[in-house]
Amino acid sequence: MSRQTMINDLTEGNVAKQLLIFAYPFAISNVLQLVYNLVDMMVIGKFVGSTGLSAVAVGGDVLNLMTHICLGFTTAGQIMIAQYVGRGEREHVSRTIGTMFTSVFIGAAVLAAVCALFADRILDVMNTPDAARAQARSYILVCFAGMIFIYGYNTVSAILRGMGDSKRPLMFIAAAATLNLILDLLFVAKFKMDAFGAALATVIGQAASFIGSLIYLYRRRSSFGFDFRPSSFRMTGRILGPMLKLGLPLALQHISISISMIVVAALANSFGVVASAVHGVGAKLTTSTSAFSNALGASSASMIGQNVGAGRLDRVQKILRTAYTVTISVFIVIGSVFLLYPKGVFGLFSSDPDILAWAPVYMKPCVLCMFSFALIGPALSLVNGVGDAGFSLFVGILDGVIARIGLAVLFGIVLGYGVKGFWYGNACAAYFTAIPAIIYHLSGHWKKRKLIIGDRE
């Protein structure tokens, strides 16, 4: 969708239609990206068992943390591109793309090297069960080696979405997810490569997705205004400054929440392989259900960014009302299915009776957490669309460092509810992001903010 089409259609009042048209490919892309880890767990659960599930759960938590660090900066770049598009400033779009590529790739290389060096220490912090340790180590080392592809795909996707194109990322991730499934069955089911094979399938799929999206961007470089010459990849200080100003708080927000989730996982892992496997499956289900909310939120942020850049604040309220209506409706349906058929849902990952026995117990806090996602996506889309990095960091620390860890310890240890307490603490913590973000929206403070791209030449 072009910049002019998106803004004109909103003028005509077709907010719901345009938001859904822009968001549905993003939603499916998010689901397919989550399918990577879900497929790994399904195949591992069927062909390796609870030990393999525990290993992939631990490895998946670590990989999610690394990915969320990247998302902080790519989201910042996406917002800046959307605001520049809204203003029609093509030259600054090109500079933002070049700065994004170089800074994100440098970050990927440094993070991968550091994490590989401290792999054993990371597993210690995660309270990785001894029976699953060797497989978990193999999983994370392979994922660290492929970090450049994971970060690269997210960078290209952010560029495309900032320009108003959410369909192409869907095409690339769909092809990669299909390849991942085939390789999972080949490496794990046929060649018995266990968690190492699952990680290898994930990295190869992400590599294919990144290369395909990069080729697409290169072939259409004239329409994007980025010529791919070496000089175009030079980091521009006047672009990097605002990107770091917004991206660093966003990254810290994601990091604080991810680390708090890792702490909760580590607490659950201390209860043994079965508890670790149940938590791993449940966490992936919870994360998967957030895909649609995240998609609506990110799509809304791009649309809000473009309209804020164009000076049309009146359209923001229409976008948010539509996003809230859609996400709440979707989560009512998903939550009902999870509560009515808990063992059937968990049965997609494992037939182990010990794991299935915990399914009804886990689904209650899972659904409680899900409804916070219905609020978080739209609410944070406003915060991100206007580029309020300080508020993003505030709610990230409030949710992750204070609420999630604090409530998990309170319910699980102080009040003695054990692993169930950790799950309820995790679920309640999400509302510490949702409620302040809604208050931020209602306060109208965001209308007075300057654009993040205001700090430019």
- Are 10 and 18 in contact by the 8 Å Cβ rule? The answer is yes
Q: What is the pLDDT of residue 102?
A: 94
What value does the mean pLDDT take over residues 387-400? 78
Q: What is the pLDDT of residue 37?
A: 61
Give DSSP secondary structure letters for 31-95.
HHHHHHHHHHHHHHHHHT-HHHHHHHHHHHHHHHHHHHHHHHHHHHHHHHHHHHHHHT-HHHHHH
Q: What is the pLDDT of residue 412?
A: 92
Whether 144 has a pLDDT exceeding 90, the answer reads yes
Model pLDDT for residues 69-91, shown as the tens digit of each residue: 888 889 888 888 877 887 778 88
What value does the mean pLDDT take over residues 297-320? 75
Percent of the chain with pLDDT over 90: 24
Whether 25 has a pLDDT exceeding 70, the answer reads no
Whether 93 has a pLDDT exceeding 90, the answer reads no
Model pLDDT for residues 271-306, shown as the tens digit of each residue: 888 888 888 888 878 877 776 777 777 777 777 877
In the block, tokens 């993070």 appear at 111
Ranges of beta strands (E only) in 244-390 are none
Mean pLDDT of the chain: 83
Tokens at residue 79, please?
A: 């917002």
Q: What is the pLDDT of residue 348?
A: 84
- Are 155 and 96 in contact by the 8 Å Cβ rule? The answer is no
Model pLDDT for residues 218-252, shown as the tens digit of each residue: 988 887 778 899 988 998 888 888 888 888 887 88
Q: What is the pLDDT of residue 193?
A: 92
CA distance 98 to 234: 6
What value does the mean pLDDT take over residues 363-384? 86
How is the chain split among helix, strand and coil, in percent rounded to 5? 85, 0, 15
Q: What is the pLDDT of residue 105?
A: 92
CA distance 5 to 11: 10
Tell me if the pTM is above 0.85: no
Whether 382 has a pLDDT exceeding 60, the answer reads yes
- Are 34 and 115 in contact by the 8 Å Cβ rule? The answer is no
- Are 140 and 104 in contact by the 8 Å Cβ rule? The answer is no
CA distance 166 to 154: 12
Whether 1 has a pLDDT exceeding 50, the answer reads no
Q: What is the pLDDT of residue 10?
A: 47
Whether 2 has a pLDDT exceeding 50, the answer reads no
Helix 130-145 and helix 194-219: axis angle, to 10°?
20
Percent of the chain with pLDDT over 70: 88
Model pLDDT for residues 100-118, shown as the tens digit of each residue: 999 999 999 999 999 999 9
What value does the mean pLDDT take over residues 35-58? 80
Tokens at residue 42, please?
A: 């399904």
Q: What is the pLDDT of residue 455?
A: 44
Instruction: Choose the weakest-confidence range: 9-13, 37-41, 111-115.
Output: 9-13
With cut-offs at 50, 70 and 90, classify the pLDDT of residue 62: confident
CA distance 286 to 281: 9
CA distance 341 to 75: 36
Whether 369 has a pLDDT exceeding 70, the answer reads yes
